[in-house]
Amino acid sequence: MLPAQGENNAVPALRETEIIMLLNAILPVWLRQLGSIKNQTEEAVDQLADSVSSIVKHFGRAGVSSVSGQVIRSDVDNLLLSLQYQDRVNQMLTVVIDDMSRLQRIITINNSRIPASDEWLSELSSRYTMHDERDRHQQAARNGDGGNAKPDSDEVTFF
């Protein structure tokens, strides 16, 4: 993370310029790669959804009376649950992509204010929607390893 203004005395000016040039070259590549991953995942899930939809239509005609019908129904329910994880992954990727774009904007605009790392991380965490995202963020901010956060448990709240 780039230091806040006024905290960068330890970084020689030449090295700072080199880091900015490096980031300028790398960030567009990372963004393109992540964007491609996002698109490919969406396409794969669309195709999978087509197949599930087709199974559901055939299954609907077959009915649920037989034991095999119940097994298929259970498998379809599991598939429908799994398909939803693409939406979660998509949202998580979007937050990271947006944040990388934000960094890219800051380093490409001359004289733009460089926020302190706490400020940056706080703004980033305000865009999370899921518990496990917040947990990973806090763990990573504390000790650099946030990979163990568990996904949210399912729940319904009636008001």
Partner 1 sequence: MAKTILIVDDSASFRRVEVMTLSGAGYEVIEACDGIDALDKLSQLGLKKIHLIICDVNMPNMGGIEFVTAVKQNQKFKFTPVMMLTTEDSDVVKQQGRAAGAKAWMVKPFKSEQMLNAVSKLILP
**Closest distance to partner 1 from the beta carbon of 139 (Å):** 18
Q: Which residue from 157, 144, 119 is spatially nearest to 2, judged by alpha carbons?
A: 119
Q: How far apart are CA 47 and CA 31, in angstroms?
A: 24
Residues touching partner 1: how many (CB under 8 A)?
29
Cβ proximity to partner 1: between 143 and 158 the closer is 158
Q: Which residue from 58, 56, 62, 63 is spatially nearest to 78, judged by alpha carbons?
A: 56
Tokens in use for 25? 């070259």
Task: Please report whether residue 152 would count as binding partner 1 according to CB under 8 A.
Answer: yes
**Closest distance to partner 1 from the beta carbon of 143 (Å):** 24
Q: How far apart are CA 77 and CA 92, in angstroms?
A: 24
Which positions from 13 through 52 interact with partner 1, judged by CB under 8 A?
Answer: 42, 45-46, 49, 52
Among 91, 125, 138, 139, the residue binding partner 1 under the rule CB under 8 A is: 91
**Closest distance to partner 1 from the beta carbon of 19 (Å):** 33
Q: Say if residues 34 and 93 touch (Cβ distance below 8 Å).
A: yes
Task: Please report whether residue 98 would count as binding partner 1 according to CB under 8 A.
Answer: no
Q: Give the residues lining the site for partner 1 (CB under 8 A).
A: 42, 45-46, 49, 52-53, 56, 60, 77, 80-81, 83-88, 90-91, 129-131, 152, 154-159
